[in-house]
Amino acid sequence: MTTKGRNTTVDVLRVLAGLMVIGIHTSGEYVLEGVAEGANFIAGLCWEAVVQPAVPIFVIISGAFVLGRNETWGDFYRKRIPRLLVLLAFWLPFYWLWLWLKGDDIGSYLAGFWQGRSFVHLWYVVMLLGLYAVVPLLNEIIRRCEADGEKAARKRLWTLSTILLLLGILSNTYDYILGYNRFFLFLWPDYLGYFLVGYTLKCHAPQRSLPALSLYGLSTISLFFASRYAFEHGEGLYFYRNLSPLIVLSAISLFAFFVSWGGCGGKLARIGKMQGDILGIYLVHIAVLNVVTKILVLTTPSLMQCAWLNIPIRVGLVFFVSWGVVRLMKRLPICRYLV
């Protein structure tokens, strides 16, 4: 089932990715404690392995719905760029103030402005601006790839997507090995492969879903063991970077699994209708997570010591509270354009 040309299962995946992003910022607390052992550390690694592909999935979904549209450059930019700039103009100062009120060292955030550390989770919006800037160019490339029929188009699009993904992996690995903090405005080219893969898989979806799901499961299990080995040998978080090879496989295979369905109905379709609130949930969830965590620390400290239970409970609480905040903001004329 599709709605006005949308694959409704991809809408469901976007909602799931919203949950996964909250999971990253929740389970990461246990992974980054610095103790590479114990039940909480293992729980954190397990959850991280499942949810870490969230941001790449967002990029893939954006590519699926944004690329290939018959729009002029001017129309495309007028519809999308101003909205992203408004979101940055509001939420960036909001989170700087939020961090200051929490007692964090706001100076350290501002000092890392050129590497994007000042943007907290809003770096994604900046990266999306870069991708959107080249959408008209990508659409022209897509039109040329599709000029000679479906078979040639599939081959050309997959070849170009693979090349861009490999370049992103190499760039990411280069930055990690050298400890290089790139100027944050130049991060977006690494995500071009994800962006184009979204369009490619939407137009040339796999016929069977089981292989894609199996690949996601295999890459997730491999990610857990690879990251545990890395921590034990002092290599840190390479495998959890958005462009590490296992994350690439995990994100693409999960998207391929969902897009292979072709559509969904019933309760799943109703879940997919939440997709219009996911960007807002992404924007507000850090503040909500801070508040929910503080309340749980004060009221149920024992729960905070059990990561296996605490992580899913906090993720669920933060997601639904954030959703409520977003729905409330959309009812207020002055706030509806901020989420």
Does the pLDDT value for residue 202 go beyond 70? Answer: yes
Mean predicted lDDT score pLDDT of the chain: 88
| pLDDT tens profile 272-295 | 889 999 999 999 999 999 999 999
Verdict on whether the full-model pTM lies above 0.85: yes
pLDDT at position 124: 93
pLDDT at residue 5 tops 60: no
Interval 226-257: pLDDT, tens: 998 888 877 777 888 999 999 999 999 999 99
* pLDDT confidence band for 4 (50 / 70 / 90): very low
Give the chain as a 3 state SS string.
CEECCEEHHHHHHHHHHHHHHHHHHHHHHHHCCCCCCCHHHHHHHHHHHHHCCHHHHHHHHHHHHHCCCCCCHHHHHHHHHHHHHHHHHHHHHHHHHHHHHHCCCHHHHHHCHHHCHHHHHHHHHHHHHHHHHCHHHHHHHHHHHCCCCHHHHHHHHHHHHHHHHHHHHHHHHHHHHHCCCCCHHHCHHHHHHHHHHHHHHHHCCCCCCHHHHHHHHHHHHHHHHHHHHHHHCCCCCHHHCCCCHHHHHHHHHHHHHHHCCCCCCHHHHHHHHHHHHHHHHHHHHHHHHHHHHHHHHHHCHHHHCCHHHHHHHHHHHHHHHHHHHHHHHHHCCCCHHHC
pLDDT in tens, 167-193: 999 999 988 887 766 666 778 999 999
Give percent of the chain with pLDDT exceeding 90. Answer: 60
Domain that residue 188 falls in: 2-338
Mean pLDDT of the 324-333 span: 95
Checking if the pLDDT of 305 tops 50, the result is yes
Number of structural domains found in the chain = 1
> Span 292-319, mean pLDDT?
93
